[in-house]
A and B are shown apart, each in its own frame.
Chain A
Amino acid sequence: MDTQNGQPGGKVGSVLVVGAGIGGMQAALDLANAGFHVTLVEETTAIGGRMAQLDKTFPTNDCSMCTISPKLIEVDKHLNIDVLTNADVVGLEGHSGDFRVTVRKRPRFVDLDKCNACGDCLEKCPVEVPSEFDQGTMGRKAIFKRYPQAIPGGMAISKADRPPCVLTCPAHVNCQGYAALIADGRFAEAYQLICERNPFPAACGRICHHPCEAECNRREIDQPVAINNLKRFAADWVARKHAAGEDVAPPPIGEIDPAKARVAVVGGGPAGLTAARDLALRGYPVTLFEAHQELGGTMLFGIPAYRLPNETLRRDVAGVLAAGFEVRTSQALGRDFTLESLKQDGYRAAFLAIGCTRPAALTRSTDGSPMQGTDLEGVRLGLDFLREVKLGAKLGVKLGAKLGAKLGDGPKLHGKVVVIGGGNVAIDVAMTARRQGAREVEVVCLESREEMPAYAWEIEDAVEEAIRMNPGWGPHAIVGRDGKVVSVKLQRCTSVFDEQGRFAPKFDQATSSETSADCVLIAIGQRSDFSWLGENDPLWDPSKRFVHADKLSLQTHLDWVFAGGDMVTGPASVVEAIAHGHEAAESIDRFLRGADLAAGRQQPEPTPAGKPEGWFPLAERAVPPRLPVGQRQGYEEIEQTLDEAAAVAEARRCLACGVCSECMQCVKACTAGAILHDMLPEEITVPAGAIVLAPGFEPFHPHARDEYGYGRYANVVTSLEFERILSASGPYQGHVLRPSDRTEPKRVAWIQCVGSRDVQLGHDYCSGVCCMYAVKEAIMAVDHVEGLQATIFYNDLRAYGKGFETYYEGAKKNYGVRFRRGIISSIKERQQTKNLVLAYVSESGEVTQEEFDLVVLSVGLRPSASTGSLAATLGVELDRFGFCRTDPLSPSLTSKEGVFVAGAFAAPMDIPETVMTASGAAAMAAESLQEVRGTMVHEKTYPPERDVAGEEPRVGVFVCRCGTNIARVVEVDGVVEYAKTLANVVLVEENLYTCSTDTQVKIAETIREHNLNRVVVASCTPRTHEPLFQETLREAGLNKHLFDMANIRDQCSWVHFSSPVQATFKAQDLVRMAVARVATLRPFGDIRLDVDQRGIVLGAGVAGMTAALSLADQGFEVALIEREAEPGGVARQVLHLLDGADPQAHLARLIERVKEHPRVRLYTSATLEDFSGHIGKFKARVRQGNRMIEVGGGAVIVATGGTPYEPTEYRYPESDAIVTQLQLEEKLQAPGFARGLNEVVMIQCVGSREEGHPYCSRVCCQEAVKNALAIKQTNPQARVYVLFRDVRTYGFDELYYQQAREAGVVFIRFEPESKPEVGLEAGALRVTVTDDVLGRPIQLRPDLVVLSAGIRPDPEAEAVSRALKVPLNADGFFLEAHMKLRPLDFSTEGIFLAGLAHAPKSMAESISQARGAAARAATILSRPHLDRSGVVSEVDASSCAACLTCVRLCPYDVPVVTEEGVAFIEPASCQGCGVCAAACPRKAIVTRHYRDDQVAAKMDVLFDDALPEPCARAALKAGEHR
């Protein structure tokens, strides 16, 4: 690599191009091919832009993908184009010539160097979201490739902010992830994902208070997703499988490293168990101490079994224990061990999580005095009661109660039970009391019903079971008789909390009541057992109520001791305890490694993801089945688990707010290790001498036009959605179906101008392309569905471009497309059929209704959403619509020096115009940087090529497994073994990924080491990978053509996955074929052409002069040849422009500059006599008077112009009062002229859209509007009538059309069948026109008739066409190489075209196109040599009979018969298609690399019995035979 940083004049020879659609790609290629380094910045994850989304293109119905995909590859492989996808321009410094641009690369989360797009991740990703590329007509995964042919080919992951459910969950359990997995039917994976953050899914699935659901964005649509029920479902599904003996979702097992520091965990509740598991999974030897005999903490003994059965919890605990830590039960802190003893026993860290297990006693009465009666018989602490019931033990038994007793064995109650307390425990106590025999249960609490701390749903459960709530009372005294409780005295509680929110109940001593009681259960809170802590222990919190622990790290005042869970927070939820467990494990790990405890943990509160955009159908939240109240006698669970179908349906309600759920399934699936979920955004600074903006457009979003029902009616789609429906890779694989029921629509309507020409919406410009794409879509729809009737509702059919009018007429004639002029007033959907009834006002004013199966909204173009901030960053001015403000006569110039614009950001435009303006912008950037051309480009050097002539073929075969992409189906070992048996094969190797960088290095070494002279790679497609492997050959000193590929992925494993044996046979065949062919291949190089670095421009009109000056300003000498005596062309007659620019001043400047420019040689009165040569070296002989001049150049631009039509109709030129628009323009120069006019009639389409001249002249409507406005401005009283067929003021010219109508210009439409008639009687004019609206003739008596005469091709175009051997179209204009992608090129390389020679167009368009042609030419002229593909046809002169077959058939007119009488094919011009070789009767012509023997070798060997038969071990095993 060779980079110079020489910067003459402080300029940088590098250009930044923003937007990698067709415009950006074209600008990048033109600049890179002209010696500039290019950085191409693209917002999405792949290049290709809007064009890649289209199915076909008008007016040729070319397949959009066919035409764009070679460009994608060209950009991708270009040595001097750096493509930055998923990136935005966020900063700009410096000035024109020397910018520094800050580019922010958003994380892709996939390493493009490692990803080989195998797609394994796609199968595993559970999240499906609407595909942007497919406009939401189908889904894509969260990890995705923008489209199948996308470049870069690697995957990307889209992530929004993290979903609110995950952020809200204290333990950050991946709710969206497991919902997605459940929706995908992958319950075991869902379970494992939950377990990563929540080791107690079965328990939490029952008892969690699920704050996640309160934040679920789905609540904005209907109800939150039943997240907790999903968790329970996954856990219970796994439990059911385990019960059936299936080994699914095994719990994670830690690999304990005995050398690591030992850790003690104190407390076997959720916090302690979580921490112990996490630490064990990190390899630490952990001992867990639990005071009870069994693990589980409060979950075990504090929660009644009708909510959480013991065995359910035990399942969770068993999963946790699998991590591999030691458990010591019945070991209480302070009783059986101390912190000191732990330290002595060698524990280096401890985590305390002893929970809040001690019930609080009722000590104070409502009047503040000590509580009376707490020692009466029948008064108990609720928590003790619960524990007793749950564990089946007697009250008062010390810790470590006997386990295994049956439920219901606990204490029996009778009579009336009063429960004091309003929390969850109180409710549990109340419901348990009922089950233990209480006849009546009453809950008394301080709080009002609304304030009760118990969860609403728990209170409802209790109420359902006839438990009485008696809120708002404080216990004054417990009254007893005979030592037994009989009642509770209560006083009204007026408030529970003080103004600071502290617990400070106030009572109304005057209001009291008494409730009878046979038993009183007190459930007013619980606290930790801190009896083991000394008075001045450093662990105390200042309040002495808790142990102090740092909020972030949970570290206590003893550095090796950490504490968490209820003992530091007070009673909280299980999931909060789990969260502490995780944090403690993280802290202890850091502590033991000596790492900073806080680093990276103090993060700002992240913003949760909002509800995704779009429309979601309503769906009822799943309600799990519940045990009927009548059956709730025992401890059977009240709430049941969702069944599979309900769970999947519920999971599908998830909106995937975060897009990627970070479930890590892709990471597990990716054998290449390419996925990096922690990738961060990156900002880089790119030096650039100039900037080209091509950010494109976005389709108008029709939600703003509600009357069309878009989003509400399934069968109303946008035109871009319809493109995807048409596309073979779209939602219905190319079948035209309607979304509601996937049936073929028979009646399809297009509605034009949706979001265009709409003053109300502020989109009052014309989008320029919708008419034509609608015509195209209608044609394609008819083509797809037999009997489909297409109807287009339109205002003016704007078929103004080259070939458009013929296309439009063809749609009517050949496809029966109906065109209805009218405004749609409403669309209604039929309930049953989902058909759509359109009501429209026809031009005659009638309201008509018609029913359709599908309606397509032809949505307009508007600037992409991101262009606002882009423009602000760069300091580029926008117009009121948000398009880039440009110079009227230099349409690529923005308001900022050094920043140029191309494509639909400048104005709505179609593909060829985008390509032209892109080349135009490239030319301007190149002009501004001409002195630093070539200073920043790289050129690669290779070792000299080894001469292999005379050597026997020594073939190396490299067989790729492509991860599992090939190997999963094709038996790769079998292919390898088979390849070893083939002739000429000296070495066969197998690779996991043959395309990986290290494998390339290895292959290069292997080639040298084994002296290979041929290489075959059996892997994927040569379309994308051949250049890579050829590069490796070159680096190993082999000619790149001694290579072939066997596509055993795209053609075997991916398409024959259900017949692996056949796929293996086929893979062996493909390898055999490739080996056979590669042996026949011969080395050859590229063709190096010398370039004459001067340009030739034919025609010195505005286009020719602009092109010549652009080339000259880019540093090239130019010969400018004009047959007239003066330069200027047709433009000399254009005196002013619609947008107010002064064309004559511009023309004068151009003329002055071409005459004075040192690098321009202008030849006037010069005619082309003779022309010869090829790309890089052309020669033109020019006659100037008697003088013959020979000019040479490496590239030629044809800008020979067009000519105004001289009318013969409408009585022209019988009267001075009948004039053309050009003549009127001249007359209007006299200020008095307009004032003298009373009535003017303008007639449109004179000589255009006629038989013989079927094309639209594109500029006449604007001419008419311009002159009409000019008359009205001077003389508002004058009546001006414009008689038209369609007003085609496309783009922003639409605004002038509106202006003209507002100024009172009357537009009257006529049908071509009843054209206006011009009468001339005694010098008086009379015009009769049949008004299309009124349907009757109108008589006008103008004093001036103005004919809008069209543009005709240059009369001498045919001579130029013959001389240059470049074609004309049927209309007589020059025909470009490709209507869409090569609008400025001829198919003969090195010759370009611009201006009216190409087709009618405005002056601004000619200027832009001329610069574009100059940019194209500069790609040749900028280099002294040109390397072209050596795949060309060659004539064996000795066999040639000069029969002229090749001369006749070559599509490029390359072969000639030489003076020696034999055919000669100029390699510089040959394209290598091989038509001549196929047709040559004596087989005297061969096409390199595709010689007959080289093609036939593959077929011959395919059937050759002498060669070994393919075989597969799997085949033998399976008993399959060929």
Chain B
Amino acid sequence: MSENQPAQPAESFEPKVVALCCTYCAYTAGDLAGSMRLEYAPNVRIVKILCTGKVDAILLLRAFEDGADAVYVAGCALGDCHFQEGNLRAIQTVAHAKKLLAEVGLEPERLEFFHVPASAGPLFAQRANEMTDRARKLGPNLLRRSARQPAGGKLAKPPDAHPPLPQAKLGRLVHQADRTDVSTGGPAAPGDLPTGVQA
């Protein structure tokens, strides 16, 4: 990256997307996409977790705070969770964190939960492309904690539509995330999914 790069339009920036993948399904599907040589956007960085049930809203917000342009949690299909209902918890967590994102002025579409069964190599690739495209359309994440140029280094200054947010506000939200997350209560029934969840 060069400091002297001229400012470029937002469409040409290369987003960085974080994918939190559970070991037994989504990560396995990622391997299968590899075995099948399915090409997908190189922007996705996979972080393997044991079960998506381990994901909390703070972690998701932290990813955005760090600078991720989009984040998705990929877990087992409904009823397939190796740990019974971790994916159901993750669905709720993601739905909740989306609301928090909206509150701080970041597009909730930057965050998603996907079901990616272990045998679904093509779906894995499709989801990676989908989230990269989404991030590309939305432009760089302006919530980034660091003072550095946004990821990709192509934007000289952020567009006016997204004024930078004070860090303090995010900090508050993180605490709020704890409280609200807990208050959502027990596991969701399979037929009763929060909106925005995609299989």
Contact = CB atoms under 8 A, between A and B. Distances in A.
A1471 B50 CA distance: 10
B51 A63 contact: no
Given A1475-B53, A1481-B182, A1503-B67, A1521 B119 contact: no
Given A66-B117, A1503-B67, A1490 B83 contact: no
A143 to B, nearest CB: 15
Contact of A1050 (B31, B122, B123): B31
A1490 B118 contact: no
Interface in B1-24: 1-2, 5, 14, 16, 18, 23-24
A734 B31 contact: no
A1449 B184 CA distance: 11
A1316 B7 CA distance: 82
Residue of B36, B56, B68 most packed against chain A (CB within 10 A): B56
B50 A1431 contact: yes
Nearest to A1044: B48
Given A1057-B39, A1479-B182, A1521 B48 contact: no
B157 interface: no
B142 interface: no
Interface in B60-112: 62-63, 66-68, 76-77, 79-80, 82-86, 89, 93
Interface string A53-85: 001000011111111011000000000000000
Nearest to A1479: B182
A1063 B41 CA distance: 10
A1051 interface: yes
A64 B119 contact: yes
Given A1059-B42, A1499-B66, A1023 B16 contact: no
Given A66-B119, A1475-B54, A1054 B37 contact: yes
Given A1050-B31, A1451-B187, A1473-B83, A1503 B121 contact: no
A92 B66 CA distance: 65
A67 B39 CA distance: 26
Interface string A1044-1084: 00010111101111110011011001100100000000000
B40 to A, nearest CB: 6
B37 A1057 contact: yes
Contacts of B84: 1387, 1451-1452, 1473
A729 interface: yes
Given A1451-B83, A1475-B53, A1492-B59, A66 B5 contact: no
A1055 B40 CA distance: 6
Interface string A1506-1522: 00010000000000011
Contacts of B25: 63, 66
A1478 B54 contact: yes
B120 interface: yes
B35 A1522 contact: no
A1489 B83 CA distance: 17
B1 A1522 contact: yes
Interface in B139-188: 144, 146-148, 151-153, 178-179, 181-182, 185-187
Contact of B89 (A734, A1051, A1065, A1479): A1479
B152 A1499 contact: no
Contacts of A756: none
B45 A1055 contact: no
Interface in A1447-1492: 1448-1449, 1451-1452, 1471-1475, 1477-1479, 1481, 1483, 1487, 1489-1490, 1492
A1023 B83 contact: no
Contact of B31 (A1021, A1069, A1479, A1499): A1021
A1282 B177 CA distance: 63
Given A1073-B47, A1521-B5, A1471 B83 contact: yes
A148 B32 contact: yes
B38 interface: yes
A1503 B16 contact: yes
Interface in A766-825: none
Contacts of A1503: 16, 66-68, 144, 146, 151
A519 B84 CA distance: 98
B131 interface: no
Contacts of A1492: 58-59
A62 B77 CA distance: 8
Contact of A63 (B45, B119, B182): B119
A1057 B148 CA distance: 30
A1052 B34 CA distance: 8
Contact of B53 (A1056, A1478, A1504): A1478
B33 interface: yes
Interface residues of B, number: 74
A601 B117 CA distance: 55
Contact of B182 (A1065, A1445, A1522): A1445
Given A1055-B33, A1073-B45, A1448-B186, A1505 B148 contact: yes
Contact of A1056 (B14, B32, B39, B54): B39
A1469 B176 CA distance: 31
Most chain A CB neighbours (cut-off 10 Å) among B36, B39, B58, B84: B84
B91 to A, nearest CB: 12
Contact of A1055 (B24, B38, B76): B38
Nearest to A1058: B39
A1432 B151 CA distance: 36
Contact of A1473 (B30, B47, B50): B50
Given A1023-B31, A1054-B37, A1475-B83, A1521 B53 contact: no
B48 to A, nearest CB: 7
Contacts of A1472: 50-51
Given A66-B25, A1475-B51, A1499 B42 contact: no
Nearest to B54: A1474
Contact of A1451 (B23, B85, B125): B85
A1055 B35 CA distance: 9
A725 to B, nearest CB: 13
A1022 B120 contact: no
Contacts of A1498: 45, 47
Contacts of B31: 1021, 1023, 1047, 1050
B135 interface: no
Contacts of B42: 1052, 1055-1056, 1059, 1062-1063, 1065-1066
A1431 B39 CA distance: 34
Given A1059-B42, A1451-B85, A1496-B59, A63 B54 contact: no
A734 B32 CA distance: 13
B146 A1474 contact: no
A1063 to B, nearest CB: 6
Contacts of B35: 119, 148-149, 1050, 1054
A1495 interface: yes
Contacts of B37: 1054-1055, 1057
Contacts of B53: 1451, 1473-1475, 1478
A1487 B50 contact: yes
B119 A55 contact: yes
B86 A66 contact: no
A1500 interface: yes
Contacts of A1451: 53, 83-86, 187
Given A62-B77, A1505-B147, 4 more contacts: A66-B76, A119-B35, A728-B32, A1474-B86
19 contacts: A63-B118, A65-B118, A66-B25, A66-B117, A148-B32, A1047-B46, A1050-B30, A1055-B37, A1449-B187, A1472-B50, A1478-B59, A1478-B93, A1479-B56, A1481-B181, A1481-B182, A1492-B58, A1495-B54, A1496-B62, A1499-B68
Instruction: List 7 A-B pairs, minimum CB-CB distance, nearest first.
Output: A1474-B54, A1050-B34, A1503-B67, A1473-B83, A1062-B42, A66-B118, A1475-B53
Interface of B: 1-2, 5, 14, 16, 18, 23-25, 27-28, 30-40, 42, 45-51, 53-56, 58-59, 62-63, 66-68, 76-77, 79-80, 82-86, 89, 93, 117-123, 125, 144, 146-148, 151-153, 178-179, 181-182, 185-187
